[in-house]
Structure 1
Amino acid sequence: MKFLKITAAAAALAAVAFAGAAQAKEWTKVRMGTEGAYPPFNYIDSDGNLGGFDVEIGNALCEELKIECVWVTQDWDGIIPGLVAGKFDTIIASMSITPERQKKISFSEKYYNTPPALAVPKDSDLKGVTLEDLKGRIIGAQSSTTHSTYAEQTFTESDVRLYPTAEDYKLDLESGRIDGAVDDVMVLSQWIDEEGGDCCKILGTFKSVPEIHGEGAGIGVRKGDEDLAAMFSKAIKAIRANGKYKEINDKYFKFDVYGE
């Protein structure tokens, strides 16, 4: 009788496993959500084409996985709701892996990790990037980002103003309506190198705060699609090993943005 009970239990477990396997989704086509307004990571060029580091890495990962990629653009503020609602299957938009976001969605392992920085006008009299340095100053950041969270929580004696896109705070920084802007160092560097060099400079970088800035940028997926995240994590390791990551990295940056 004991033997029969064990056999029945084993059979039941096997049936559950089989049912789970039968229900597992076979990923042959993945809709990739991105913002398209965060150069050099993702942007829409003058011809209307989507490009940037995020996009090229995403395409390389899909090629490695032998799956079809279809790109969908979405305003940043609606990008997590869009994923949850099923408008796309992943987020690859320089989204930092943070504890707060992990309550809503799941992530692959990181595909890059760079520090935040402060850009200021060239003629700024600011000497540093500490709380005391920025006391009473107007600081801009893109809303709903780790950078806006950091600015609001850190620069408590500054006037922190939030903008829907990075382009919006850049316009106010160029025109002198704000004293500085916080964003990823590579975003600010690329802007200053290509467009904002006449008006602005990078004053310094900040030490990342893991509770705010997270563990780097990862690929977001819906809860329940952790198998898809695991596929992308494996592919990230593969393109790091086969040189494809470096090829894309070197097209945009002068050093390895993967981080430690």
Structure 2
Amino acid sequence: MENSMPSAHRLSRRVVTSAIALAMATAGFATTAFADFKDELLKNDTIVVGTTGTAPPFTMINDTGDLDGYDVALMKKVAEDLGVNVEFRQLDWSGLLPGLVADRFDVVASGVTRTKDRLASDDLIMLSPYIINGVAITKLASNDEISGWDDVCGKTVGVVRGSAEINLIRDSLPEGCLGTVKEYPGWTEMSLDLKNHRIDWMGMDYLGPSYLAAKDDSITVLSDVRSPKTQSLAVAPDDKELAEAIDALIAQYREDGTLNAMITEYFGQPVDFSKTPADPK
């Protein structure tokens, strides 16, 4: 990714009100650190969020045709607590982080894995963990040839284009084990190829496919989860005060149970944040 310069319309705004400062003080924030977060927004009083809408239940289109999911609910809660609006823009995963660098969004909310490179990058700001996950094998329930990681060597795997899972999977397998890798824009296209036997398995996280497999008897997710990882939100590199303000809320939500209430609602099971794995180095 290329580094982006802060846009003039971000830097020119000075529109923070005393009401917002008072609200943040009431919530226990250090208002002097966060007082100017609204100056950095792409649109006045609105956080612009990039998401896919195709990674259930992180981000998806629900039965009524509305954008929904864990990331969507979280960003609505964050915007409410910061006293601003939120606007979602949908894009394939492969375009989200480049779009963040190109100043198309303030935040990317789409199950972003906290990798070593992303944590160290100057192109984005990764926030602290909002969920604990890992990589797992998703396959057809009728496929008796795959019962664990030892059985995937040489077989064709589908992955989401630009996702972090393929490197986590590669690192967890013996050298030379990984077979042909096919990339897809999202779950819909990949699961269709799985059902049509164009791929043998899907290399994804554990929680998302588990949610989908609970609604589709033809697909199953194996319980052997590897490469424990954390995921969170990514913020534009020139939105430092916004990143600090949102991260303070995420920390609060971890402590007061708000995150686990949302996680249970969307994933059907809570996570134990006391077992959060260390950041990759």
Q: TM-score range by the shorter chain?
A: 0.7 to 0.9
| TM-score (norm: length of structure 1) | 0.80
* Alignment of structure 1 residues 120-159 onto 2, 5 Å: 120-130=139-149, 132-152=150-170, 156-157=176-177, 158-159=179-180
Matched residue, 2:279: none
Matched residue, 2:17: none
Q: 1:67 to 1:205 in 2, by over 3 A?
A: farther
CA deviation profile, 1:226-248 (whole Å, cap 9, x unmatched): 22111111111223344433332
* Alignment of structure 1 residues 148-227 onto 2, 5 Å: 148-152=166-170, 156-157=176-177, 158-194=179-215, 196-197=216-217, 199-208=218-227, 213=229, 216-227=230-241
Aligned residues: 231
Higher helix share: 1
Q: Are the counterparts in 1 of residues 135 and 168 from structure 2 also a CA contact under 8 Å?
A: no
Amino acid aligned to 1:245: L
Secondary structure of 1:93's counterpart equals: strand
Matched residue, 2:251: 237
RMSD, aligned CA = 2.3
Q: Are the counterparts in 2 of residues 117 and 205 from structure 1 also a CA contact under 8 Å?
A: yes
Secondary structure of 2:113's counterpart equals: coil
Matched residue, 1:15: none
Query: Which among 54, 63, 78 is matched to residue 37 of structure 1?
Result: 54
Q: Are the counterparts in 2 of residues 111 and 258 from structure 1 also a CA contact under 8 Å?
A: no
Aligned partners of 1:87, 1:224: CA distance in 2, in Å? 12
Aligned partners of 1:253, 1:233: CA distance in 2, in Å? 22
Aligned partners of 2:272, 2:54: CA distance in 1, in Å? 21
Q: 1:227 to 1:138 in 2, by over 3 A?
A: same
Aligned partners of 2:82, 2:224: CA distance in 1, in Å? 36
Q: Are the counterparts in 2 of residues 128 and 204 from structure 1 also a CA contact under 8 Å?
A: no
Sequence identity (%): 24
Secondary structure of 1:92's counterpart equals: strand
Range moving further from structure 2, 152-161 or 132-141: 152-161
Gap regions ≥5 residues in structure 2:
1-32, 40-44, 276-281
Aligned partners of 2:81, 2:239: CA distance in 1, in Å? 19
Q: Are the counterparts in 2 of residues 115 and 205 from structure 1 also a CA contact under 8 Å?
A: no
Aligned partners of 1:37, 1:43: CA distance in 2, in Å? 5
Aligned partners of 2:257, 2:80: CA distance in 1, in Å? 14
Secondary structure of 1:115's counterpart equals: strand
Q: Are the counterparts in 2 of residues 114 and 258 from structure 1 also a CA contact under 8 Å?
A: no
Secondary structure of 2:111's counterpart equals: coil
CA deviation profile, 1:31-87 (whole Å, cap 9, x unmatched): 111111101110123543110011101111222222221111121111011111111
Aligned partners of 2:151, 2:270: CA distance in 1, in Å? 30
* Alignment of structure 1 residues 68-107 onto 2, 5 Å: 68-102=85-119, 103=121, 104-107=123-126
Aligned partners of 2:183, 2:272: CA distance in 1, in Å? 28
CA deviation profile, 1:110-154 (whole Å, cap 9, x unmatched): 111212110122222335433x42222111111111112234555
Aligned partners of 2:102, 2:197: CA distance in 1, in Å? 39
Aligned partners of 1:217, 1:200: CA distance in 2, in Å? 24
Which of the pair has more CA radius of gyration?
1
Aligned partners of 2:154, 2:226: CA distance in 1, in Å? 22
Gap regions ≥5 residues in structure 1:
1-20
Query: Which among 20, 26, 30 is matched to residue 38 of structure 2?
Result: 26
Aligned partners of 2:236, 2:272: CA distance in 1, in Å? 24
Secondary structure of 1:235's counterpart equals: helix
Secondary structure of 2:86's counterpart equals: strand
Aligned partners of 1:202, 1:100: CA distance in 2, in Å? 28
